Amino acid sequence: MSLVHPALLFMCLPIFLIVFAAAGRLWGSRGALTVLTAASLLFGATQGIAFLVVIVASALVNYALLMVIVRSDRPASVRLALYTGIAANIGLLALAKYSVWLGWIPVIGTASLSLAALIPTTLSFLTFQRSVALLDGFSARGAVATDLQKPRAGEALSPANPPLRFFAFASMFPNLLIGPIAYLVEVVPQFARSSFGRIRPIDLSIGLTLLAIGLVKKFYFADIIGRDWVDPVFADVAAHGATGGLRAIEAMVAYYVQLYFDFSGYSDMALGVARMMGITLPINFDSPSRATGIVDFYRRWHITLTRVIARFLFSPLSIAGTRYAARKRWRGARAQAVSLWLPLIVNFIVIGLWHGPRLTYVLFGTIHGLWYILETEVRGTKWWKKRRKTIAEPIRMLGGMALTIPLLILTFALFRSATLADFGHLLGSLGNPAQPGVDLPSTWKFAQLGLAYAIVMFGPNAYEMLGRYRPGIRSYINVSITPRLFAFRWRPTLFWGLLVCAAIAAVIGKMSAVTPFAYQVF
């Protein structure tokens, strides 16, 4: 079961909110957290008993290690607990997700294949969320210890607070499967608020609006674009090694926007469901199709993964490389290579590998890493700094977008391809002649794709629309370039309420055949 399943949306979710509010009123935040944890475990059970066993066992191990980190007075024990927890989390993820590459290793390969067969649902997001919780405990021990224990206003101090708060955070069903990846220090302090455990009308309004936006993205854009434009072409290339040139271009252009609507739609829904119970999660997308470069893109696309990988990999590697270069008294390119370039390449290869054991993902990450390095170096030159002052901001931004978007479309076509050979066949098809009757979709389908691109290029995103009400936690402040004509601002009014209800009603008719999220395979 996923967030788009009708039974969850229209039966389980309302019942959960009623029980959550009743428990909060009767037993305070601990009652609400107990209901949230129980509901999250039931949600996990719908993915399979093996998945439930793994996430519970993982949560118990991570909680025990977190308690060592925040309570131990011995630095050696703290570091051992941190390294053990991260190694166990990453090891579990590797066994479950990379069996294709590990299957030849005696014992480990057998365990990996068995685990992969038992757990079809990805562990990627919850693994990273729990790992970063340990890192939060290590880097902010006092604050985390306080956040886990601090009672809500009017409640007595209780030893049940730390485990309840951690398990609710680690297994919270809105973002359990496909994120966004939240930090412990972002979410757990919210459990101590005086309003937590109460259903407030403003939270319901914001949550339902985000939920409606996500549903529309999923059913009216991502699913339709994938069905009509993307999947048939990539299947054709995989089966026959070629397709028509126009169809290849259409599929490449369409996939980029399909993936955006699919993944950002889930992220909107996750934030919406969490907000209904008064919890604010981090924003995962911020109009990435308007990025003016690869650096800008990764401040807007899958933001929570980008910041986690940077925290775990880039920052430590960059610091170590800088210190090494200083000891060797290196300057210039050699110093840059170990302090910036190599950490960036490793960072982006891991971002690619995080999606799965495919060479296309490795090449995708490598290309983006090299692109990031090139752009960073160009931005640091005197030539660029001088040119930036002489070119008007709108022209510079439009030029950046004109260069960035085609390259992103091309690299995401690589990302979508199952093998490097498929991607080569797709590129080779660009020179093929059109296939009469096949390469020309209907005017209505062209209009759908055109509308999709118009929305991502000119329309406000959900967080701009609801900006006055803090719909999510921002990791970066990106300047909005939404044209003033389309800069709609949401209000908790009758008009917006009717519009949200109409959107949800329109989606209900599309729910007869629920398709999984394209990003759920990661």
Q: Given pLDDT bands bounded at 50, 70 and 90, which one contains residue 439? A: low
Give the pLDDT band of residue 441 (cuts 50, 70, 90): low
Other CB atoms within a 10 A radius of the CB of residue 296 amount to: 20
Half-sphere exposure for 313 (CA within 13 Å, toward CB): 19
Q: What is the mean pLDDT of residues 274-294?
A: 96
> For 204-240, how does the pLDDT look when each residue is reduced to its tens digit (9 = 90+)?
999 999 999 999 999 999 999 999 999 999 999 999 8
Measured CA to CA, the distance from residue 342 to residue 331 in angstroms comes to 15
Contacts of 485 (CB under 8 A, 6+ apart): none
Overall average pLDDT of the 401-415 stretch:
96
120-148 pLDDT, tens digit per residue, is 767 889 999 999 999 999 999 999 999 99
What's the pLDDT tens digit per position in 370-389? 999 999 999 988 888 888 87
Q: What is the pLDDT of residue 210?
A: 98
Provide the 8-state DSSP code for 106: T
Q: Residue 434 pLDDT > 70, yes or no?
A: no
Closest by Cα among 57, 221, 194, 218 to 127: 57
437 has a pLDDT exceeding 60: no
Work out the average pLDDT over 287-302: 95
Q: Which two tokens stand for residue 9?
A: 């949306």
309 touches 368 (CB < 8 A): no
Of 481 and 181, more confident: 181
Give the integer Cα–Cα distance in Å for 402 and 394. 12
Note the pLDDT of residue 223.
93
Distance, in Å, from the CA atom of 190 to the CA atom of 188, rounded to the nearest integer, reads 5
Write down the mean pLDDT value for the chain.
Answer: 92
Residue 442: per-residue pLDDT: 65
Domain ranges of the chain: 6-199, 203-290+430-521, 294-418
Per-residue confidence (pLDDT) for residue 438, from 0 to 100: 59
Average pLDDT on 339-356 reads 95
CA distance 269 to 471: 12
Give the rounded percent of residues in the chain with a pLDDT score beyond 70.
98
Do 467 and 489 touch, CB atoms closer than 8 A?
Answer: yes
What is the pLDDT at residue 123? 86
pLDDT at 101 over 80: yes
Which tokens hold the place of 512? 């007869």
- Per-residue pLDDT band at 109 (split at 50, 70, 90): confident
Token look-up 């703290």 returns 78
What does the pLDDT average to over 39-52?
Answer: 93
Coil/strand/helix, residue 447: helix
Burial annotation 219-252 (CB, 10 A radius, 16+ → b, else e) = bbbbbbbbebbbbebbebbeeeeebbbbbbbbbb
Which ranges constitute the DSSP H helices of 140-197? 141-149, 161-171, 184-187
* Mean per-residue pLDDT, 37-47: 94
- Cβ atoms of 24 and 164 closer than 8 Å: no
Mean pLDDT of the region 24-32: 94
- pLDDT(427) > 80: yes
Q: Does 444 score more than 80 pLDDT?
A: no
**Rounded Cα distance, 271 and 278, in Å:** 10
